[in-house]
């Protein structure tokens, strides 16, 4: 008889996660940063949980002049790819390390005004994370 499955212990490095939140009306967005050695995994999410896009950004010292700041892949029918790319690139620049951003934001019947609010809230979340990373002494220019 197989042994019972038990959840694995949460790695202690996740205790150092940085979490940022913004709310506006029914919109509730979070940006969670999880340390991965000297790099960061960023989770940008709000509304119905899912993964819509992922982007990997490298700091300037790790890419050639011809390479874009971030490479991304988006799930068909989802619109988070540009957000994931922008967040990853800004955080990689600020922290001076690689950043992978997974983004999933979904609100049923979202209005054009709410989409503008989401974009503004993501900018605010990213600004706060950038300030915090710089204060903590993570690289960047």
Strand partners, 36: 39
More confident residue, 5 or 56: 56
Q: What is the mean pLDDT of residues 56-69?
A: 82
pLDDT for the residue numbered 141: 42
Distance (Å, rounded) from C-alpha 77 to C-alpha 136?
A: 37
pTM over 0.85, yes/no: yes
Q: Where are the domains of the chain?
A: 45-133
- CA distances 129 to 19, 48, 50, Å, are 9, 23, 22
Which element (helix H / strand E) includes 30?
strand 27-36
Token pair in block for residue 116: 């503008």
Token pair in block for residue 42: 């960023």
- Under a CB-based contact definition with an 8 Å cutoff, are residues 50 and 103 in contact? no
Instruction: Kindly report, residue by residue over 101-132, the tens digit of the pLDDT.
Output: 999 999 999 999 999 999 999 999 999 999 99
Q: What are phi and psi of 71, to 5 degrees?
A: -110, 145
Residue written as token pair 């790790």? 62
CA atoms within 13 A on the CB side of 74: 12
């Amino acid at each position: 008889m197989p042994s019972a499955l038990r959840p694995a212990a949460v790695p202690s490095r996740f205790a150092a996660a940085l979490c940022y939140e913004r709310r506006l009306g029914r919109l509730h967005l979070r940006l969670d940063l999880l340390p991965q050695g000297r790099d960061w995994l960023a989770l940008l999410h709000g509304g119905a949980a899912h993964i819509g896009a992922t982007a990997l950004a490298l700091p300037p010292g790790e890419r050639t002049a011809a390479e874009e700041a971030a490479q991304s892949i988006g799930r068909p029918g989802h619109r988070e790819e540009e957000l994931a790319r922008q967040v990853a690139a800004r955080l990689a620049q600020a922290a001076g390390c690689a950043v992978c951003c997974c983004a999933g934001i979904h609100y049923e019947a979202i209005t054009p005004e709410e989409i503008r609010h989401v974009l503004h809230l993501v900018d605010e979340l990213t600004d706060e994370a950038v300030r915090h990373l710089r204060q903590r002494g993570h690289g960047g220019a």
